[in-house]
């Protein structure tokens, strides 16, 4: 794969929400370029458009203007169906809340993103198990989410986001509901695992401690993204 193909390239990204109350511009001309294994932390005031930026980068929202290219592919040139398939294959999301399915075991929760294709294989199970071992949950494979601590649940959510070895890993305040110790652990795992998989990691956070651990940092303010 060529160097150009391994990058996330964002050019002139604008996002405007049109509501009954009028229009609201949340992103103005955002440019960004990240290489495989890169990690960027985004900080900024509440309501500054951080979640909106992640939603657009992950193909959950279309931009008003501009383009996103991931590994050479023009993401928004796709139809809705193609976009959904691309998202499934190429993007992992970690949110502030874990959103695990309560009726499924830890192992099953991690395998959920594999169910969309032709069903899970022995290789999927082996990869999920290895990921869970890597985050220290080898003894918890058959537990249900309610039987885990908050930090453990978020570690499962990280494994679920990584099971498809996504080109792009997006985390929206992933440590926002955790105590200091668990937050540190989740931050470390996101950085370590995304680098090992060759994913681009973009993490929105309110924590200056977490942001400080990222090789690249940027701030979203007044709809503009500025490198720090
Ligand atoms: P942040 O994550 O930085 O707190 P958000 O991206 O969630 O900010 O929101 C930025 C602004 O856009 C907020 O003022 C919010 O109310 C508004 N907003 C978010 N989503 C929508 C939407 N779907 N429609 C209209 N306005 C929205
Ligand atoms: Mg947000």
Burial-class residue 49 by CB neighbours within 10 Å (0-12, 13-18, 19+): buried
- Measured CA to CA in angstroms, residue 193 lies from 80, 160, 177 at distances of 30, 12, 21
- 60 CB near ligand 1 (under 6 Å): no
**What global pTM score does this model have?**
0.94
Closest C-alpha residue for ligand 1 atom 4: 47
What is the dihedral sign for C-alpha 43, 46, 48, 50?
positive
Rg of the chain on CA atoms, in Å:
17
Average pLDDT, the chain: 93
Ligand 2 centroid – CA 172 distance (Å) = 7
> Is the pLDDT reported for residue 5 higher than 80?
no
Give residue-wise pLDDT tens across range 133-174: 999 999 999 999 999 999 999 999 999 999 999 999 999 999
Distance CA 210, CA 174 (A): 10
> Is the pLDDT reported for residue 107 higher than 70?
yes
Which pLDDT belongs to residue 115? 84
Pocket test for ligand 1, best of 49, 57, 220, 221 (most atoms within 8 A of CB): 49
Q: Which atom of ligand 1 is nearest to the CA of 220?
A: 3
Give residue-wise pLDDT tens across range 33-84: 999 989 999 999 999 999 999 999 999 999 999 999 999 999 999 999 999 9
Class level of CATH domain 35-61+79-227 = alpha beta
Please report which confidence band the pLDDT of residue 4 belongs to, taking 50, 70 and 90 as the band edges: low
Residue 206 DSSP code? S
Mean pLDDT lowest among 54-63, 111-120, 202-211: 111-120
Q: Which ligand is nearest to the CA of 25?
A: 1
Rounded to an integer, the average pLDDT of 178-203 is 93
Ligand 2 centroid – CA 96 distance (Å) = 9
- Measured CA to CA in angstroms, residue 111 lies from 8, 46, 158, 172 at distances of 26, 33, 12, 21
Which pLDDT belongs to residue 169? 97
Look at residues 97, 102, 205, 112 and name the one whose alpha carbon lies nearest to residue 154: 97
Q: How is the chain split into domains, by residue range?
A: 35-61+79-227
- 49 CB near ligand 1 (under 6 Å): yes
> Is the pLDDT reported for residue 6 higher than 50?
no
CA dihedral 99, 101, 102, 108 (to 10 degrees): -130
């Amino acid at each position: 794969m060529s160097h150009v193909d391994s990058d996330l390239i964002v050019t002139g990204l604008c996002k405007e929400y049109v509501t009954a109350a009028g229009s609201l511009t949340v992103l103005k001309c955002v440019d960004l370029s990240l290489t495989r294994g890169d990690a960027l932390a985004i900080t900024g005031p509440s309501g500054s458009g951080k979640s909106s930026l992640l939603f657009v980068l992950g193909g959950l929202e279309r931009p008003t203007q501009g383009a996103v290219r991931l590994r050479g592919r023009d993401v928004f040139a796709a139809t809705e169906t193609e976009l959904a398939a691309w998202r499934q294959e190429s993007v992992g999301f970690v949110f502030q809340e874990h959103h695990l399915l309560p009726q499924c075991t830890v192992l099953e929760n991690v395998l959920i993103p594999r169910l969309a294709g032709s069903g899970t294989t022995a290789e999927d199970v082996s990869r999920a198990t290895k990921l869970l071992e890597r985050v220290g949950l080898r003894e918890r494979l058959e537990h249900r989410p309610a039987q885990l601590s908050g930090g453990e649940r978020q570690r499962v959510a990280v494994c679920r986001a990584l099971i498809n070895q996504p080109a792009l890993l997006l985390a929206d305040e992933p440590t926002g509901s955790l105590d200091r110790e668990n937050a540190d652990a989740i931050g470390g795992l996101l950085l370590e695992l995304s680098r090992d998989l060759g994913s681009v990691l973009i993490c929105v956070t309110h924590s200056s401690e977490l942001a400080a651990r990222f090789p690249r940092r940027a701030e979203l303010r007044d709809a503009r993204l500025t490198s720090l």
